[in-house]
Amino acid sequence: MAEKRPERVAAARRLASRIRAEGPVTVADFMQEAVAGYYATQPPFGVAGDFTTAPEISQMFGEMTGAFLLDAWMRAGRPSPVSLIELGPGQGTLMADMLRVMRPYAAFCRAVSVHLVENSQRLRAAQRAKLAGVENVFWHDRLQDVPPGGFTLIVANEFFDALPVHQFVHGGQGTWRARRVGFDPAADKFFFDGERGDEKVFELSLATLSVMEEICRRLRSGTGGTALLVDYGYDVLAFGDTLQALSRHRFADALDNPGGQDLTAHVDFGLLAFEARRNGLRVQGPVGQGEFLLSLGIAQRAEMLAQHATPVQRQEIMTALRRLTAPSEMGTLFKALAVSGGFE
């Protein structure tokens, strides 16, 4: 199957020649190159892709997050203007579902401009198609490029898990060193440099910290705002290697096929919350995605949708509800963190 994806070799080739010239690269550099190559060239989502995200499972996910952000805007006293920012919007499904919930609120619609932070041209095209007809939509490579000011609403689903992590390994005698990836041309394989295979691993994503710093800066300025961050991750500092590759909905070797398969690391919610508190922002959560969605009324929403549905559709709605909320599915591994500034 993977052979049908010819572009996959581009990122791998770049990494291999870089390692040949400079020696082994950090895990963060490897991941950066692999992830950028992946989103630039692959169809990641859905049955034909490598993984399925919450907004692709059901419109109810976007409806709940849209209601959550709208509520924050109302509690802040309906300020104008509003920048509604999404980090890593994928196929644009989440934003489309959120905007549908927001549409009846005329004052909000008059105040809002939509900003999509996306560095894949391929996915930008998908987002443009999905949001055709929506006014005031702008694309940016980085959050720093979104014009500042006004009230800020930020949403990110499965964005931080795509950002590169540094890994450090315990090398014995109480010393730590950055973990590096080498390349063996004879075997045509990437490998972790100089390891016995039983080292303790510690992860830190400086890219995550940088984005969170920028989020906090925005929530502290203008008329404040709220950020809702949903991802696969942990909230207690821990040792462990969470680098994870998915190919066609199956786990794969993290160092295989860079750029040709999904590569993520678990998100450190403790770090996100720490940075928010350090900036004097109000932090809610993280709570499990299940708890978050159920508290917003997703079960009642499912019932409402099911009332007007055929028996087959009803089954699909209830299956989606379970996938999004059950502890054995996405309900507890995925977490939601809300950060606010400028209003109570």
Judged by CB under 6 A, does residue 224 bind ligand SAH? no
Judged by CB under 6 A, does residue 89 bind ligand SAH? yes
Q: Which residues contact 133 (CB under 8 A, 6 or more apart)?
A: none
Residues within window 117-176 making contact with ligand SAH, judged by CB under 6 A: 117-120, 123, 157-159, 162
CB of 143 to ligand SAH, least distance (A): 8
Q: Which is nearer to ligand SAH, 28 or 162 (CB)?
A: 162
**What does DSSP say about strands 112-117 and 137-140: parallel, antiparallel, or unpaired?**
parallel
Judged by CB under 6 A, does residue 65 bind ligand SAH? no
Q: What's the rounded Cα separation, in Å, for the pair 133 and 127?
A: 12
What's the per-residue H, E or C state across 280-329? CCEEEEEEEHHHHHHHCCHHHHHHHHHHCCCHHHHHHHHHHHHHHHCCCC
Residue closest to 302 by CA, chosen among 322, 280, 275: 322
Q: Which is nearer to ligand SAH, 119 or 284 (CB)?
A: 119
Q: Which is nearer to ligand SAH, 199 or 231 (CB)?
A: 231
Q: What mask of x and - would describe binding to ligand SAH in positions 303 to 332, judged by CB under 6 A?
A: ------------------------------
Judged by CB under 6 A, does residue 30 bind ligand SAH? no
Judged by CB under 6 A, does residue 341 bind ligand SAH? no
Q: What's the rounded Cα separation, in Å, for the pair 90 and 266?
A: 18
Which range, of 51-59, 196-204, 312-320, 322-330, touches ligand SAH by CB under 6 A? 51-59
For residue 251, give the H/E element and its range.
strand 250-252
Instruction: Check if the beta carbon of residue 67 is closer than 8 Å to that of residue 227.
Output: no
Residue closest to 98 by CA, chosen among 60, 150, 54, 152: 60
Q: Which is nearer to ligand SAH, 87 or 169 (CB)?
A: 87
Q: What's the rounded Cα separation, in Å, for the pair 249 and 51?
A: 5
CB of 130 to ligand SAH, least distance (A): 11
Which range, of 114-122, 214-222, 233-241, 332-340, touches ligand SAH by CB under 6 A? 114-122
Judged by CB under 6 A, does residue 55 bind ligand SAH? yes
The single-letter code of the amino acid at 308 is: H
Q: Which is nearer to ligand SAH, 97 or 241 (CB)?
A: 97
Q: What's the rounded Cα separation, in Å, for the pair 196 and 59?
A: 46
Torsion, Cα 139 143 149 153, to 10 degrees, reads 80
Which range, of 87-95, 178-186, 197-205, 334-342, touches ligand SAH by CB under 6 A? 87-95
Torsion, Cα 156 124 140 93, to 10 degrees, reads -30
Judged by CB under 6 A, does residue 90 bind ligand SAH? yes
CB of 225 to ligand SAH, least distance (A): 19
Polymer length of the chain: 344
Task: List residues binding ligand SAH (CB under 6 A).
Answer: 35, 39, 53, 55-56, 88-90, 94, 117-120, 123, 157-159, 162
